[in-house]
């Protein structure tokens, strides 16, 4: 007996609807829609740099998000973070939380857990968040360096007239400056890795990457310049000592 | 702010430029990196040491200088000897086949503990006295000659060569310990303390062996 057209259409419509529904369910499950999660409350003295949706990171992996922010009675900021059950094991009683604001790139909350065997953090307990602020630190560190270079460049002529000991001696100006510059070059080199990482993250945002590329070139150039300065000073200081490569 | 920084550094470079000596940049970089590499390796900062070694290698390679490249590898082997480690000499032998240099080969032979009379002329001066006792395997005379080496790194390398290729006693090992400790070179220090412990263990002085072991454990803690 032939199957009626109405019947065929019915089967087709129902089949399609079921497939779409299954696909949606699958996507939702993949996105963690049905996943239950733990909510932990953290407190921080300032909400500066905090945002809803900010990632919570453990060993470099995203394990959760900031769910909500609110002020408590004493004016401290309460941060509620939501961590899926499968990642809750990383958060323990003696975990400590750091709000990390890198010089470049998005801020994040970093979880550090030393003892994974210690009991899990209770959800009603409020843990403190420490703030690490690269931006301010960097400015603070560069400021004295700038001042030193400024002072030095103003006095460079008078320096030449002074005794060698004062300038070139162990405690003299140049060795100290040399150290500072090497320091600065090292810090800038460290910065490069940050930019590299950030480049990776923001690959999709084409415009942002371009900006970062330019910034990177800038940093490269400054690092190179500083390296050259330190090399020049090295040469100046050890001009008797020729860079001769000998077997030890 | 970056611009200010650049301006002042540039002013400073200009001020310095008049007094700098003219050494090719790659050579200077290589020299500096080798010096830093030695320090990092001996103080146990292996990651930094690897980076510095590779940078020195690159700098020398860009100067197309196989002689210095061989010296760089020999320096690496010598440091490993100083830390009582074995080394893989493949790279040096490859370079040596293509561009043999007597001084390098002599130094290599010295590290391998097989010095002949011809090599002795090409070795750095500080090792000259050590050749004869090393060949005769005379530990007492050897210790004397080791003590006479002024440069601590050379002394440590010589100690390493001796321990590897000649019969040694605890005085030579203790000389290694003291030399490394004076300079704060963690890597060879631990290696020598380890060797000292093994030595006492083999000679049946268990109490001393345990003492050396505990000593090392306390340092490592």
Last residue of a domain, one of A118, A134, A150: A134
Cβ contact B42:B185 at 8 Å: yes
Mean pLDDT of the residues in chain B: 86
How many separate domains does chain B show?
1
Does the residue B133 lie in any domain? yes
How many separate domains does chain A show?
2
User: Looking at chain B, which residue has its C-alpha nearest residue A146?
Assistant: B5
Same domain flag for A130 and A42: yes
Same domain flag for A171 and A207: yes
**Nearest-CA distance B122 → chain A (Å):** 11
* A103 exposure class (CB count in 10 Å sphere: 0-12, 13-18, 19+): middle
Does the residue B27 lie in any domain? no
What's the domain range around B163? 65-220
The confidence score (pLDDT) of residue B18 equals 46
Cβ contact B117:B80 at 8 Å: no
Does the residue A145 lie in any domain? no
Residues β-bridged to residue A97: A111, A129
User: In residues, how long is chain B?
Assistant: 221
The confidence score (pLDDT) of residue A191 equals 65
Contact A244 B31 (CB under 8 A): yes
Last residue of a domain, one of A117, A134, A151: A134
Does the residue A245 lie in any domain? no
Does the residue B10 lie in any domain? no
The confidence score (pLDDT) of residue A12 equals 96
* Contacting A residues, span 45-84, partner chain B, CB-CB under 8 Å: none
**ipTM, interface predicted TM-score of the complex:** 0.72
CA distance A122 to A87: 15
CA distance B8 to B19: 18
Does the residue B4 lie in any domain? no
Contacts of A84 (CB under 8 A, 6+ apart): A32, A35, A36, A37, A38, A63, A64
Query: Strand, coil or helix: what is B199?
Result: helix
Q: Is A31 on the interface with B (CB under 8 A)?
A: no
In chain B, what residues touch A156 (CB-CB under 8 Å)? 12, 15
Does the residue B60 lie in any domain? no
What's the domain range around A82? 37-134
Contact B23 A231 (CB under 8 A): no
Does the residue A141 lie in any domain? no
Does the residue B74 lie in any domain? yes
Cβ contact A103:A193 at 8 Å: no
What DSSP letter does each residue of A105-137 carry, written as one string? S--EEEEE-S-TTSPBPPTT-EEEEEEEEHHHH
The two three-digit tokens of residue B172, written as one number = 């030579």
User: What burial letters (b/e) apply to B88-117, b meaning 16+ CB within 10 Å?
Assistant: eeebbeebbeeeebebbbbbbbbbeeebee
In chain A, what residues touch B9 (CB-CB under 8 Å)? 149, 181, 225-226, 229
The confidence score (pLDDT) of residue A73 equals 86
List phi, psi (to 5°) of A182: -60, -40
Q: Is B72 on the interface with A (CB under 8 A)?
A: yes
Contact A236 B19 (CB under 8 A): yes
Best residue in B9, B19, B63 for a mutation probing chain A (most A CBs within 10 Å) = B9
Does the residue B23 lie in any domain? no
Same domain flag for A173 and A108: no
> Which residues of chain B are modeled with pLDDT < 50?
17-20
Last residue of a domain, one of A97, A116, A134: A134
Same domain flag for A42 and A115: yes
Cα separations in angstroms, A229 against A84, A238, B19, B28: 51, 14, 13, 13
Do β-strands A126-133 and A37-44 pair in parallel, antiparallel, or remain unpaired? parallel
Cβ contact A140:B2 at 8 Å: no
Contact A153 B13 (CB under 8 A): no
What DSSP letter does each residue of B25-79 carry, written as one string? HHHHHHHHHHHHHHHHHHTT-HHHHHHHHHHHHHHHHHTT-HHHHHHHHHHHHHH
The confidence score (pLDDT) of residue A240 equals 47
Best residue in B1, B2, B6, B8 for a mutation probing chain A (most A CBs within 10 Å) = B8
The confidence score (pLDDT) of residue A153 equals 64
Does the residue A69 lie in any domain? yes
Same domain flag for A115 and A51: yes
The confidence score (pLDDT) of residue B137 equals 85
Q: Which helix (H) or strand (E) holds A144?
A: helix A134-161
Report chain A (248 residues): mean pLDDT per 10 consecutive residues: 87 96 93 82 82 88 89 87 86 84 78 84 82 69 68 60 54 66 68 62 51 64 70 60 76
Does the residue A103 lie in any domain? yes
Sign of the C-alpha dihedral computed for residues B72, B73, B77 and B80 taken in this order: positive
Same domain flag for A48 and A105: yes
CA distance A61 to B210: 44
Does the residue B98 lie in any domain? yes
User: Looking at chain A, which residue has its C-alpha nearest residue B127?
Assistant: A248
Same domain flag for A54 and A119: yes
Q: Is A155 on the interface with B (CB under 8 A)?
A: no
């Amino acid at each position: 007996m032939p199957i009626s057209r109405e019947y065929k259409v019915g089967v087709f419509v129902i089949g399609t609807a079921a497939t779409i529904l299954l696909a949606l369910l699958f996507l939702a499950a993949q996105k963690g829609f049905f996943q239950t999660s733990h909510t932990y409350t953290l407190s921080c003295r300032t909400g500066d740099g905090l945002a809803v949706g900010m990632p919570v990171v453990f060993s470099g992996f995203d394990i959760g998000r900031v769910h909500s922010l609110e002020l408590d009675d004493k004016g401290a900021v309460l941060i509620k973070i939501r961590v899926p059950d499968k990642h809750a094991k990383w958060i323990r009683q003696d975990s400590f939380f750091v709000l990390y604001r890198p010089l470049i790139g998005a801020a994040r909350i970093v979880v550090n857990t030393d003892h994974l065997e210690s009991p899990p953090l209770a959800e009603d307990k409020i843990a403190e968040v420490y703030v690490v602020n690269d931006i301010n630190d960097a400015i603070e560190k560069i400021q004295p360096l700038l001042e030193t270079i400024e002072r030095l460049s103003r006095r460079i002529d008078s320096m030449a007239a002074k005794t060698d000991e004062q300038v070139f001696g162990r405690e003299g100006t140049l060795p100290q400056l040399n150290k500072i510059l090497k320091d600065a070059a090292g810090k800038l080199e460290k910065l490069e890795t940050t930019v590299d990482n950030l480049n990776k993250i923001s690959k999709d945002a084409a415009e942002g990457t371009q900006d970062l590329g330019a910034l990177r070139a800038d940093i490269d150039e400054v690092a190179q310049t500083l390296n050259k300065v330190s090399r020049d000073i090295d040469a100046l200081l050890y001009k008797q000592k020729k860079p001769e490569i000998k077997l030890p | 702010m970056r611009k200010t920084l650049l301006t002042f550094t540039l002013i400073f470079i200009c001020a310095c430029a008049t007094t700098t000596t003219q050494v090719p940049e790659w050579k200077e970089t290589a020299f500096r990196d080798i010096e830093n590499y030695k320090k990092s390796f001996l103080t146990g900062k292996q990651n930094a040491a690897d980076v510095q070694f590779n940078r020195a290698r690159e700098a020398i390679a860009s100067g197309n200088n196989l002689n210095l490249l061989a010296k760089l590898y020999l320096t690496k082997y010598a440091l490993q000897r100083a830390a009582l480690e074995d080394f893989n000499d493949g790279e040096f032998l490859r370079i040596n086949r293509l561009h043999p240099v007597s001084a390098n080969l002599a130094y290599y032979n010295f590290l391998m503990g097989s010095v002949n009379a011809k090599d002795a002329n090409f070795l750095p001066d500080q090792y000259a006295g050590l050749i004869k006792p090393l060949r005769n395997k005379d530990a007492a005379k050897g210790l004397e000659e080791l003590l006479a080496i002024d440069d601590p790194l050379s002394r440590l390398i010589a100690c390493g060569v001796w321990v590897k290729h000649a019969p040694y006693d605890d005085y030579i090992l203790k000389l290694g310990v003291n030399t490394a400790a004076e300079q704060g070179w963690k890597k060879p220090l631990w290696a020598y303390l380890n060797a000292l412990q093994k030595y006492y263990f083999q000679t049946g002085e268990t109490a001393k062996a345990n003492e050396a072991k505990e000593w090392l454990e306390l340092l490592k803690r």
